[in-house]
Chains A and B, each alone.
Chain A
């Protein structure tokens, strides 16, 4: 059966949309504002014990011995666990690229500060932590491998002895006539950049309660899982269990941004439960654990970039060489962040030729994790600095430089050099909107006046793409498998006419239960209160993945509309029998099933469902008495990549243009954001308030990454930023409140024209702020090439200029 998805709100079976596209209040919020939402740490199960994990104090050391006897003897300790148990019961961690990981508890040696070494389950968390003090571990320290360049050298000491070197992955992707383009170009610009580690830091850390039922060998895990079904499959593989014996229940969680982590904690608690005769074992990661050994760190990058540019400012080729420091293992899908830039490699620009020279290297640091945006934010920072460098040299206004290279609006769908297809866009319109909002020419005059007064004021104008609706085929090149990511929903109407939608993903903050509610209320012509969204565990939910890669809004919309359409087909047959007409003579409009030629012959959706459930005598012979339907949506037209990794991967390409004006204080290196404007185009906005909130939130994370946040390791591989005193998250004082405009270029490829949304600002903010900083520094003749542009770093740069 092929489905015709409604392409716009006008195509919904409603006279005038009442809910979808409106900033309706979120159905999630009453529970959240009263403190009633069941986050994982709120749950206590009968017989539950508490886990504490002992972490390595060394970046690199051989484990000579572990003695758990004193810990095991402590009053209240129920079970202890070491790498020996992990070796006996589990497989080494799944990694991408494959083969770069160990067990969830260290066995032969530790490879980063914070690596789990042993664990304890006890009757309280206090006792469990006491017990950690009684674990005796003898280490033999080895020289740590901390510097990415040294680690990548032939002959470097190795993180994994079984590998030839520390290179997890190395490949050059060439798209088009790159060498020729550089030879023929009027101008070639080359520069190096550094992006230091930042990461997600949701306010809630990871947490889990695990039970290993020893009688029938089933696992049950409740936790703050971003992708519960995916995690469940992983556990079945890890513990060699039939997959239908692994049950995962995702609790609502306090943010994720890709960096929730959780694999190790889940496996450790499962094995502790096994050792504790199946008692539930709870582990709530503390903040220092999150920062030093959780899903906290991403994007540790050393870049070299060059662009080939003609006299008129047209960019003909882009070369990016990336050395990405992945830390000690390739667990947790951190490496995907280095590959995702291929989905938007040349940004908003029609750059026909490009090359990506990618190296992933292992060091003795925390393994890299995903983080919101998944990798393009540093790439965009590099690309946009190059555009500004070229613009300056050519005497072009930075906005004009970009305008000359935009993919024209009439060229969509457009396949970029690296192979992804952009569905639609109006990049010039977004730029014009931002320039108009900002009063760009006036702003430039203000900048001139400020400069005349000796102030260091700069402006950055940057447009980016947010690849939306992630597909696994984007990551085939580093070893992920599969094409397509089904997201499903089951929609049921009960005998009272109320609607329940069953989904497989938990609340995380983006408001998707509200979107599901809006869609169903709209489709069936009922009130929001008539719809309820409930979470199913992995064994009872339709196929699902959950949030990730800006996919869920689009995917769940497709699923809901598909299920609603399937359900309507059944209801239509019921109405047709009642009115003694053919099903094709009946249509759904405003919640009523009407005979097309006889509008007064109509049956409400609720009554049709009630007939199905309570009046078998009125049921058509080919309809079962079940007013329910399930549909799983996946992006159409996805295939395997070609030999150069080119593939249509992310289905949608949202666009954002940011203009920011900053002032740099040369005496302190402090950056003040003076003005900020955003034009954002993510197609149809299903709930504009949801989108606007995520844009603003991602601005905050972008500001943090650009000016404040940084994971710092010393030469011994010790983490110097293992608390919020040292890892600086932006507060209300540091975050600007930009003036925002929404543009709507609907996607031709998705239900209702929505595009993946929520990340656009973190793709754009760092690049825009860094462009503005460098514009401010221009009179000083220096260029900031390292993120974060912290006061210390900028001050040193400025001192170097004047000294």
Chain B
């Protein structure tokens, strides 16, 4: 077993230090070491997208990254989406209103991909939404309500604050 290594990272604005084996996956560290269990593990081989988080603003699959690769990076996970006072993010509100989830297990991963999409493309076309979400699997909804959720979230985010 290789020697453990110290890493530092920021998740949802909070700085963390961790000592990890080089083989530990990023998602195991987020969930097991940092207790951020909102990121879920669906396939552990990088296909289903349930474990998607944002690393320096980019969506990555935390099941096929190693924790040591996270050293120095800034992460956002589902726990960072709502405000610290508990106010839901427009994406979360849209998912509730448009029924973008059923069992909800894939939802955090989808939301991270959607956040990346809407930050880069605030008013996406349906094709752009599909392209952004084509790498994530939902077994419950059949995707229609997820597409509607993204459209609705985009609208909410574009609406001028009242």
Residues of A within 8 A of B (CB): 25-26, 28-30, 32-37, 39, 41-42, 126, 200-205, 253-255, 257, 284, 286-288, 507-511, 689, 692-694, 696-701, 723-725, 729, 731-733, 735, 737
What would be 15 A-B contacts, judged by CB atoms less than 8 Å apart? Answer: A29-B96, A29-B101, A202-B105, A205-B42, A254-B40, A255-B103, A287-B45, A288-B45, A508-B103, A692-B99, A693-B99, A698-B142, A701-B139, A723-B43, A735-B142
Q: Given A732-B143, A735-B142, does the pair A34, B40 have CB atoms closer than 8 Å?
A: no
Q: Report Cα–Cα, A510/B88, bound state, in Å.
A: 22
- Residues in B whose Cβ lies below 8 Å from that of A733: 130, 134
- Residues in B whose Cβ lies below 8 Å from that of A737: 142-144, 147
Verify if B11 is at the interface (C-beta below 8 Å from A).
no
Beta-carbon contact of A693 and B145 below 8 Å: yes
Q: Report Cα–Cα, A37/B43, bound state, in Å.
A: 19
Q: Report Cα–Cα, A254/B44, bound state, in Å.
A: 15
Q: Please report whether the interface of chain A is mostly helix, strand, loop or mixed according to DSSP.
A: loop
A-B contact count (CB 8 A): 166
Q: Report Cα–Cα, A697/B106, bound state, in Å.
A: 14
Q: Given A696-B142, A729-B139, A732-B134, does the pair A25, B105 have CB atoms closer than 8 Å?
A: no
Verify if B104 is at the interface (C-beta below 8 Å from A).
yes
Q: Measured between C-beta atoms, what is the minimum distance from A127 to chain B in Å? A: 9
Q: Report Cα–Cα, A723/B42, bound state, in Å.
A: 11
Q: Report Cα–Cα, A203/B92, bound state, in Å.
A: 20
Q: Measured between C-beta atoms, what is the minimum distance from A506 to chain B in Å? A: 11
Q: Given A25-B96, A257-B139, does the pair A203, B103 have CB atoms closer than 8 Å?
A: yes
- Residues in A whose Cβ lies below 8 Å from that of B130: 732-733
Q: Report Cα–Cα, A41/B146, bound state, in Å.
A: 25
Nearest residue, chain A, Cβ from B108: A35
18 extra A-B contacts, CB within 8 A, seeds A39-B40, A126-B21, A733-B130 = A30-B96, A32-B107, A33-B88, A35-B38, A126-B24, A200-B139, A202-B103, A203-B105, A255-B103, A255-B140, A257-B139, A286-B44, A509-B102, A700-B143, A731-B143, A732-B133, A732-B147, A735-B144
- Residues in A whose Cβ lies below 8 Å from that of B140: 203, 255, 509, 693, 697
Q: Given A32-B107, A287-B45, does the pair A693, B102 have CB atoms closer than 8 Å?
A: yes
Contacting chain A: which of B54-62, B78-86, B117-125, B154-162?
Answer: B78-86
Beta-carbon contact of A203 and B21 below 8 Å: no
Q: Given A257-B139, A700-B143, A732-B130, does the pair A34, B81 have CB atoms closer than 8 Å?
A: yes
Contact among B48, B79, B95, B137 for A29, CB-based, below 8 A: B95
Verify if B138 is at the interface (C-beta below 8 Å from A).
yes
Verify if B52 is at the interface (C-beta below 8 Å from A).
no
Contact among A32, A288, A508, A723 for B101, CB-based, below 8 A: A32
- Residues in B whose Cβ lies below 8 Å from that of A723: 43, 45, 47
Q: Measured between C-beta atoms, what is the minimum distance from A504 to chain B in Å? A: 19
Nearest residue, chain B, Cβ from A698: B142
Contact among B47, B78, B103 for A724, CB-based, below 8 A: B47
Q: Measured between C-beta atoms, what is the minimum distance from B117 to chain A in Å? A: 12
- Residues in B whose Cβ lies below 8 Å from that of A255: 102-103, 105, 139-140
Among B24, B47, B103, B107, max chain A CB count under 10 A is at B103
Q: Report Cα–Cα, A563/B135, bound state, in Å.
A: 46
Q: Report Cα–Cα, A709/B119, bound state, in Å.
A: 34
